[in-house]
Amino acid sequence: MSKTYSGIAFLFSLLASSAAFAQYATDALRYSEINQTGSARFQGLGGNHASIGGDPSSIHGNPAGLGFYTRSELTLSPAVTIAGTKSNYLGNDTKESSSLFNIPQASVVFASQPGFQRKWKRSAFGISFSRQQSFQNGYTYGGRNNNSAYIDNVLENINNANPRYTTDELSKGLQNGTNGEQIANSLPAAYYHMYLINPTTPDGSPFQAIDDRSVVDQTGTFTSKGATSQWTLAYAGNLNDKFYLGGNIGFSRIRYEYSNTFSDDYVNSPALTYIDQFEDFTVRGSGVNLSLGAIYRFNPMFQIGGTLISPTFSAIKETYSQSVGAGYVNGKVKDADGKLITPPYTSLAVLPNDFEYNLIGPIRGNFGATVLFQNKGFLTATVEYAGYSGMRLRTSFLDADGNRDFKNDNNAVVKDTFRNTVNFRLGGEVRANIFRARIGGAYISDPYLTRDDGIDRSKILASAGVGVRTDRFFVDLTGTFTTYKSAYTPYYLNNPNNYASVEITNRPVNVMVTGGVFF
């Protein structure tokens, strides 16, 4: 796609402007959410980071926690994630599950020797790799739709486009691919050359669908993968074993891909047997953020802490590809004169759309308190803030007017779509000699300002774990169960009563082992 506003304008007209801008707002949220991070120990405590130290999670959590280290440490955390989903579409339920092995955490901490004659007793420097967000997901859905088909969405976008599509424009909408195959320069052009939409006037508009009356059996499959990960460098100091202060810098990486297939199988249609829609979306991005944290010990039984995290400033590149395939009754289709002919194309790929933009994520903060029961264990709680309504998008990929419109329109959608949230975490640990047992939970608030689809997107996390800690090494095992709802809309129409959304119940389970050695 060239650096002109026409390319992105086409994309927006294709999806309908409000849906397109909402999509970028949704993308901003996807790359900015953080649910549960850290070592198996901290995940077993419900993801609490604010007021506990002495764990590799402190490197990217509250860096002040590094000030508790008295010796150096090396850790590695392999994990298995099982993503379970149940989707409901047009009254039909479908279940799906998948599993993935990954290494979401690894770190090294270098602790200084204690300075008994100084107020600053100790300091520590840490480096960690952490997975901030997993995009592993997958679901299938299906049901009979008596009101619409995907072709209705394409038709509305063509007839509502400004300027209007013409037959002359669409007839020139094919070009040679790298292997000599024909590629459509737009989805409307693909539908036009496959005779799925047809003109009703000499210049074309308004266009009509080859079949806009038949009932369709709709099925879809969505599969995504990838993660937001971060390399973090952190440093902290310890003042008189009372006040701990630390800071970090994080270098994040976004990898996200999805594949989506949507099928309309026509029931008793005089013209069509099916239309299949295929989509592939690939995102790569990188960013940077800063954190400053502090922990204060009032006495050996009580301490508080907090962290202020800057927005992540990210540069993002994406590629969107799609194609369409169709089946015709008896392999024939009517031409402009009403004669039955063999369709010139039964499938066409659409020229991929590339785009680049910048995202400023939400500012974050947390505050927590920990009550310690000598060597028997502790209870800890954290309150988190995430300023999602302050997320901002901009681009320099278009011309001056396009860049301004992209920035203003998307930022307005973000402000109207999302709210600032407060999350809560609670966890505890029981100690018996070298053995540890932990339990935790978290409530992650729904970031959407309104619930037009009636879905509460808040998340509940429950975790439990055990561990063994000796003078030379430690091993922790934790399982985290998460439950939340989300939605996916295959296509939009002017009348919301004529299309449906998939309601998805997500219940991923993450099992992590953290092993560490002291040196």
Checking if the pLDDT of 2 tops 60, the result is no
pLDDT at residue 22 greater than cutoff 80: no
Query: What value does the mean pLDDT take over residues 334-344?
Result: 88
Q: State pTM to two decimals.
A: 0.89
Closest to 159 in 3D by CA, of 209, 211, 214, 212: 209
- The per-residue pLDDT for 205 is 87
Calpha distance 295→199 (Å, rounded) = 69
pLDDT at 366: 97
Mean pLDDT of 316-331: 96
What is the arithmetic mean of pLDDT over 312-341?
A: 94
Give percent of the chain with pLDDT exceeding 70.
95
For 185-228, write each residue's pLDDT tens digit: 999 999 999 999 999 998 888 999 999 999 999 999 999 999 99
Q: What gap in Å lies between CA 96 and CA 256, rounded to an integer? A: 20
**pLDDT recorded at residue 23:** 84
Please say whether the beta carbons of 92 and 143 come within 8 A.
Answer: yes
Phi-psi domain of 432 (left: phi exceeds 0; alpha: psi -120 through 50; beta: other): beta
Q: Which tens digit of pLDDT belongs to each residue from 358-413?
A: 999 999 999 999 999 988 999 999 999 999 999 999 999 999 999 999 999 999 99
Per-residue pLDDT for 53 more than 90? yes
Distance CA 514, CA 506 (A): 25
Instruction: For residue range 430-488, list pLDDT tens digits in order.
Output: 999 999 999 999 999 999 998 877 899 999 999 999 999 999 999 999 999 999 999 99
Residue 14 has pLDDT above 50, yes or no: no
Quote the pLDDT of residue 3. 35
Listed by start position, the domains of the chain span 5-518
Beta pairing class for 364-372 and 333-334: unpaired
Containing 80, the helix (H) or strand (E) segment is strand 73-89
Beta bridge partners of 437: 430, 466
| pLDDT at 4 > cutoff 60 | no
For residue 179, what pLDDT is reported? Answer: 85
Whether 47 shows a pLDDT value over 80: the answer reads: yes
Supply the pLDDT for residue 67.
95
Band the pLDDT of 10: cuts 50, 70, 90. Answer: very low
Do residues 244 and 62 lie in contact, with contact meaning Cβ atoms separated by under 8 Å? no
For 5-518, CATH gives 2.40.160.60
**Distance from C-alpha of 310 to C-alpha of 274, rounded to nearest angstrom:** 50
15-26 b/e with 16+ CB inside 10 Å = b? bbeebbbbebbb
With a pLDDT cut of 90, the percent of the chain lying above it is: 86
Specify the pLDDT at position 20.
56
Residue 356 neighbours by CB under 8 Å, 6+ apart: 315, 316, 317, 318, 395, 396, 397
Find all residues with CB under 8 Å of 215, minimum gap 6, and list them: 144, 145, 146, 266, 267, 268
Span 318-330, average pLDDT: 96
What was the pLDDT predicted at 451? 83
**How large is the C-alpha radius of gyration of the chain?**
27
| 123-158 tens-digit pLDDT | 999 999 999 999 999 999 999 999 999 999 999 999
Question: Does position 118 have pLDDT exceeding 80, yes or no?
Answer: no
Closest residue by Cα to residue 460 from 418, 503, 507: 507
pLDDT at residue 378 in the model = 97
Res 19: pLDDT? 54
Mean pLDDT, all residues of the chain:
92
Q: Is the pLDDT of residue 309 over 70?
A: yes
Say how many C-beta atoms besides its own lie within 10 A of residue 452's C-beta. Answer: 9
pLDDT for residue 498 is more than 90: yes
What is the pLDDT averaged over residues 504-512? 96
